[in-house]
Amino acid sequence: MNITLRAGEKLYINGAVVRVDRKATIELLNDASFLLETHVMQPSDATTPLRQIYFVLQIMLMDPTAARVTSELAGALIEKATGTFATAEIRVGLKLVSDLVGRARCFEAMKTLRAMYAVERREMFPLGDIETTQAA
């Protein structure tokens, strides 16, 4: 797998942080857990159930030594979210996320979660965003 990074961009590989000083292409020749800087969520952005799950999975990728503890936390958050949401699309998606985490496919699980953000937003804020509602 080839990964192209821009100057100054970070890549997290198996718990290590790599930063390049100029545009570079990195070829991963074996199976590795990695996360691109553009996919890193800041703690302050983990404001919804799906984003909280995403953040925990991100920690699993960035710090493999904490994977056991964070895996348990992810499982608890997924279970709680599954019981909270009424939307079938989210419930089915969370089942897929749980299966992917169980197979150590965290990046794919994170991708699945990102795809559900809009559905989550519609369920949580059926009248629109809080900021939009308050501004009107």
Give the pTM. Answer: 0.84
* Stronger pLDDT, 96 or 105, i.e. the higher one: 96
Phi-psi map region of 32: left, alpha, beta (phi>0 left; psi -120 to 50 alpha): beta
Question: Which one-letter amino acid corresponds to residue 65?
Answer: T
Q: How many residues does the chain have?
A: 136
Domains in the chain: boundaries: 2-38, 41-124
Residue 6 phi, psi dihedral angles, 5° rounding: -85, 165
3-state secondary structure of 88: helix
User: Which tens digits make up the pLDDT trace of 103-123?
Assistant: 988 889 999 999 999 999 999
Retrieve residue 18's tokens: 């790599």
